[in-house]
Structure 1
Amino acid sequence: MTSPAPQGIAFTLDGVDELTFTRILRDVLGDAAFARPLQVQAQEPRPGRPARLTLVFWPQDRTRAVQAMQRLKTLLLRHGVQVDSVQVPGGS
């Protein structure tokens, strides 16, 4: 029997420059809301490709991941970042 695969909540951050992205990432990595068992995957902005943050979690940690998602939205607003899209597996 195979175990369930990890899932991820992905945030696309169009228009975020490298400095702002670095500041956001520093805040995320220093915040207990994003500690294990959650994992944060970061994709820095590149020409023609927006920045992206993904909260990776196991299905049994979904509630914690949704709480972390709300916290991430707050952190992004603090940096003046509008979230362009959020992809949540299995609905909201």
Structure 2
Amino acid sequence: MTDPRQGIAFTLDGVDELTFTRILRDVLHDPAFRRPLQIQAQEPRPSAPARLTVVFAPGDRARAVAAMQRLKTLLLRHQVQVDSVRVPEGADRDADN
């Protein structure tokens, strides 16, 4: 059985541990990221950039796209440049609305 959940992944190249911790704190306290969404976090390492992924079930796509927009705002507040965003097929069309 395959997992139907999808994820919108943000790669945060050049983010240090302190900034990543502050971003993660803001995400965890922001209602835009509450259940049924899930946030997966990968801290920055010398061999890999920081990464945040908004994980969602297909029925929660609209909520996930709104959370993606909110995450972009939080990252700007911390003056973080997003290196890349990977959006699953179909979610990008919702992001335009």
**Could you say whether these structures have the same fold, taking a TM-score greater than 0.5 normalized by the shorter chain as the test?**
yes
State the 4+ residue runs in structure 1 displaced beyond 4 angstroms.
none
What secondary structure, in the 3-state scheme, does the structure 1 residue paired with 2:79 have?
A: coil
Q: How many residues get paired?
A: 91
Structure 1 stretch 4-13 or stretch 57-66: which is displaced more? 4-13
Instruction: State the alpha-carbon separation in 2 of the partners of residues 10 and 4 from structure 1.
Output: 17
Normalised TM-score (structure 1)? 0.95
* Partner residue in 1 for 2:38: 39
Which deviations, in whole Å up to 9, do the C-alpha atoms of 1:45-88 show, x marking residues without a partner?
A: 00020000000000000000000000000000000001110000
Q: Which residue number in structure 1 is paired with residue 17 of structure 2?
A: 18
Cα deviation for residue 3 of structure 1 reads 7.7
CA apart distance, 1:4: 6.2
**Equivalents in 2 of 1:87, 1:21: separation in Å?**
19
Gaps of 5+ in 1: none
Q: Structure 1 vs Structure 2: percent identity of aligned residues?
A: 78
Letter in 2 for 1:14: D
Give the whole-Å Cα distance in 2 for the aligned partners of 1:36 and 1:53: 16
